[in-house]
Amino acid sequence: MKTKTKIILGAAGTLAATYGVCTLMDEMLFNKKLIMPPEINAKFSGCDMSHLGELLANNLRWVEEYGYEKHYITSDRGEKLTGYLMRAEEPSDIYVFGAHGYRSYGKKEFCGFAQYYLGRGVNIFFPDHIASGESEGTHCTFGYYEKEDCMKWLSYMKENFGEDIKIILHGVSMGSATVCMMSGRDDLPENVKFTVADCGFTTAKALFASKMKGLGIPDYGLLKAVNCVHKINHGFDFREIAPVESVKTAKVPMLFVHGREDNLVPAYMAGELYDSCGSEYKDILIVENADHAQSHVDGKQEYEDKIDEFIEKFVE
């Protein structure tokens, strides 16, 4: 009996330890209020953005000096979400909707694009996703709930800025996954004229597996275990986060952008998204030497030229 008891206690201990490890990994991935030490965050992202400090500060300062309106909605889950509208100097019925990335926020992600879009006479609207910036919540969902919130924002924009406005979806990183999943929906408003998907992943599972491999962490079913814990704690299967499947039914033109030297989301994922995309018109831009979410920094002119082409073809 003692041996059997030891076996049972040992198994229970192993199970509890496994659950604890999986819970910790799940929280590190999804809990945006959990502040990771800089060295761990750097290892996870694989991206050195320290050299962007001054540029980012200048762009954020420019946004504050230009000015913006704040807007609010409440998610279907009850969180108060904040959005920002920067209006072009001359009245315009064209709006860019910007979806930001993981552990970022609206102004930070789109302060670099603001001058371009506003200079082209296009309004720019960017929300803070759940658990980001000034929006409420504790956990991001890599696009799972963000896409629902963004669809709600599009309805809000139509109601408040005009039923006939023209909308460009522009997402970066996790925001790219979000707009990709929106672009394949049957209920996407006809107001949306095209989508820019910058450095997006194919599936959340593939992204997590890629990072584990890059960090030298063997899987051995660990991702499945983490997903089981995640479903218990958060109520959804992260394998359902699959932009590469969503774009198969995309009905709007799509521009995929990716940095060749992306150390967080491998550049080959842009090709897989492009190949999977079912839109009648699609294009891809790979920016040489650009790391994650830095294509607009390292390939500013070619990036903006591509967006110009899409605006001229599908908006103006």
Q: Tens of pLDDT along 155-181?
A: 999 999 999 999 999 999 999 999 999
Task: Look at the chain and report how many structural domains it folds into.
Answer: 2
What is the per-residue pLDDT for 212? 75
In this predicted structure, the answer to whether residue 25 has a pLDDT above a threshold of 80 is: no
From CA 75, how far away is CA 90, in angstroms rounded? Answer: 32
| Residue 298: domain span | 52-203+241-314
Kindly state whether residues 69 and 116 are assigned to the same domain: yes
Domain contains 220 = yes
Domain contains 161 = yes
Kindly state whether residues 129 and 273 are assigned to the same domain: yes
Residue 47 structure tokens: 């991206």
Please, are residues 100 and 108 in contact by the beta-carbon 8 Å criterion?
Answer: yes
Q: What angle do CA 52, 303, 101 make, to 5 degrees?
A: 55
In this predicted structure, the answer to whether residue 245 has a pLDDT above a threshold of 50 is: yes
In this predicted structure, the answer to whether residue 19 has a pLDDT above a threshold of 60 is: no
Please, are residues 153 and 106 in contact by the beta-carbon 8 Å criterion?
Answer: no
Kindly state whether residues 108 and 74 are assigned to the same domain: yes
What whole-number percentage of the chain has pLDDT above 70?
Answer: 82
What is the per-residue pLDDT for 93? 97
What 3-state class would DSSP assign to 31?
A: strand
What is the per-residue pLDDT for 27? 62
This prediction's pTM: 0.87
Q: Tens of pLDDT along 258-278?
A: 999 999 999 999 999 999 999
